[in-house]
Structure 1
């Protein structure tokens, strides 16, 4: 808990996962926090999230409500299928292996359940929320945010957590900065177990597992939510939305046609779909920096490193960002340390966030290969490791012994403790600001 003289007034723009994670972490550190959100209620549209150990350990650390874990599904198995249905990779003790390696679970959650649990915890900690307030202007000279309704929010630090279409990002770069299409779109499907009459499919829902189907230019993933009462399917396919449209209602017939000839199990699930939306997958180029020159604006989550969903790290890395930022701010002894602390946050988070973004594009490449020589070589690697302990680089990063530990083994709490120990001068009592470079 920071001393009174070092307590900041933190204004967070956006109540998505990175915004509320930052709010919790900063409030636990003793700072005063308010969150501005344009939505009138926190009932975010969305579907499932795969929460990997690098983030689930943070949810445990923040002491979120027991109801969150009751709403989770922990998959016991992870299988990668060729689009025809052939098994390419299998971890039949996935839950046990994950807990043994990382001392935290891999769980599947509905996005709304996670957001509501974070919201409840942040309110317990005294965080103030201003819902239905769309940002109109940011004044970096006075660290002030003004909403369309004319309300003014002032503090010591503005946290840009307003996502892919970030207004804070545009204010920072001084121009329109719209996200770029990736060439893919997602169909997101949520089915209730009680609407599935097929006994084999119902058993798949009620006994949580993760299944991937990978094929030419597309792939699908299915997993259970809410303790096996709900099934979440995401279909990743080439983008055919009109220019300027990021989301629209989709055609169920068109969706099914894209998967003709794929695994009958996947297609049997799709027969239960009655309506579906199409979501364009977008990204941004890398930002030069995540902290402004006056050190009163800092970026988190999709506002600075939006990710393709192919490693399920968008939500997880956003939670990491919020944890690291709030924990670093918890080591302040003087407000004059803020510029150096923000740059330390940037040094800890920027390279990792951007590396994960690059890895998602690599996973898309390996999952979306057209049938041919490259695909056959990929499948030979899969076949050579099936039923064995995987060694070396692997086409599915979900169980790759090189990539999985890098993603799942990351511990934000330990990383901050290490950074604080390595920079004792930064966190000592001081009255004049020094740059991060000077400290190092």
Structure 2
């Protein structure tokens, strides 16, 4: 499959310098969402993005109602829905037997319960929808192939130094927001002690046309369009449709067998059997056939932060992976970036002298929220990778607990409104 590419060269050029503008470093999901949320509240926004093209290979994402309700308000969801799938259910199955352990209805029921849909899509489709909306806003400007490398704050605002091609530029604004990802330049410049930590696991990703799936695997799929997770000892596999249901996205999470715990060791491009497939050899034949017959599988090492780093100083805030890189076990990475952005925009009042107090409250509130999501992710990891007595206890719980109680257990997560104060 050809890698989806979003050409950013049609983005709007910089405007006349505005000392009251809010400067965003990074045009990923967090940065673009923040630009839209700030724009809706009347702020002038300048984005600096180091890339000229955004490309994502095999990167499907799940967007739960806590994210889609925010995208709806920003005018993005209507652009995204035609390329998305609204799953009928989220299913948990045993990786060896293929038996269903849990079936949680989603679809219209989820939309009615949490007042917004649960969808799955390709990351490139989300970025494309965000960019289309950004280009429609007169108070958002974007400068490409430019990287914010330094900043200096004072009581009046912030000065940023931007590397642009072969020259250095200086820009002034009221606030700087680092949305520059897990390897954030702005976070790393502020502290060399709080770097992202390699977890020792790799997410192997692939997207495959439905027509290419082996019959032994499709026989395992529950009826309808669903998000399905297969559990096993120290590994799991997730599958869901995307691209209007024409493609199936896969994420196989397994231990890194090759690097000895180092993240900077190159991952071999050999066939899956030389990398992660042995973690699935004893699984159901349909899953083993899938792992060995489809691809290419793209490795993505999993990193996490030990703690959140939202507020660096009164004029520098971090959001998304720059603030709290997390593992994917709660399927909330993109949703938390969207929440961060919209909550930040809702926090900033008209009186800039109040911003230090407002930002401190924002950082405290978001830290509590992120820590709760991380705990849920750790619980999911335990359930996905359970073995022996723990797996037996998990299966017993899922057989005997009413489905309604499992669904209600998501109310705090999916029913959350990041813009509510």
TM bucket normalised to smaller: 0.7 to 0.9
Name the one with the larger strand percent.
2
* Alpha-carbon separation, structure 2, partners of 1:240 and 1:313: 26
TM-score (norm 2): 0.86
Aligned residues of 1:250 and 1:276 also touching (Cα < 8 A): no
- Asked whether 1:340 is paired with 2:357, we answer yes
1:236–1:143 distance in 2 versus 1, CA, 3 Å? same
* Alpha-carbon separation, structure 1, partners of 2:74 and 2:80: 12
User: Which residue pairs with 1:394 in the alignment?
Assistant: none
Single out whichever of 197-206 and 113-122 deviates more from structure 2: 197-206
1:206–1:125 distance in 2 versus 1, CA, 3 Å? farther
Choose which of 263, 266, 273 in structure 2 pairs with 1:253: 273
Q: 1:354 offset after TM fit, Å?
A: 2.1
1:8–1:341 distance in 2 versus 1, CA, 3 Å? farther
User: Which residue pairs with 1:298 in the alignment?
Assistant: 317
1:7–1:353 distance in 2 versus 1, CA, 3 Å? farther
Q: 1:22 offset after TM fit, Å?
A: 0.8
SS in 1 for 2:39: helix
- Asked whether 1:153 is paired with 2:171, we answer yes
User: Which residue pairs with 1:426 in the alignment?
Assistant: none
Task: Identify unmatched segments of 5+ residues in structure 2.
Answer: 1-17
Q: 1:19 offset after TM fit, Å?
A: 1.0
User: Which residue pairs with 1:382 in the alignment?
Assistant: 398
User: Which residue pairs with 1:432 in the alignment?
Assistant: none
1:195–1:151 distance in 2 versus 1, CA, 3 Å? farther
Where does 1:197-346 land on structure 2 (aligned, <5 Å)?
Answer: 198=215, 201=218, 207-242=224-259, 243-245=262-264, 248=267, 249=269, 251-254=271-274, 255-287=276-308, 290-293=310-313, 295-329=314-348, 332-346=349-363
TM-score (norm 1): 0.83
* Alpha-carbon separation, structure 1, partners of 2:160 and 2:56: 23
Structure 1 runs, 4 residues or longer, greater than 4 Å off: 202-207
SS in 2 for 1:154: strand
Describe the superposition over 1:17-56 as per-residue Cα deviations: whole angstroms up to 9, x where unpaired. 1111111100111111011111211334451000000001
1:121–1:244 distance in 2 versus 1, CA, 3 Å? same
Q: 1:204 offset after TM fit, Å?
A: 5.4
Task: Identify unmatched segments of 5+ residues in structure 1.
Answer: 1-5, 392-398, 420-440
1:241–1:408 distance in 2 versus 1, CA, 3 Å? farther
Aligned residues of 1:135 and 1:148 also touching (Cα < 8 A): yes
SS in 2 for 1:240: coil
User: Which residue pairs with 1:116 in the alignment?
Assistant: 128
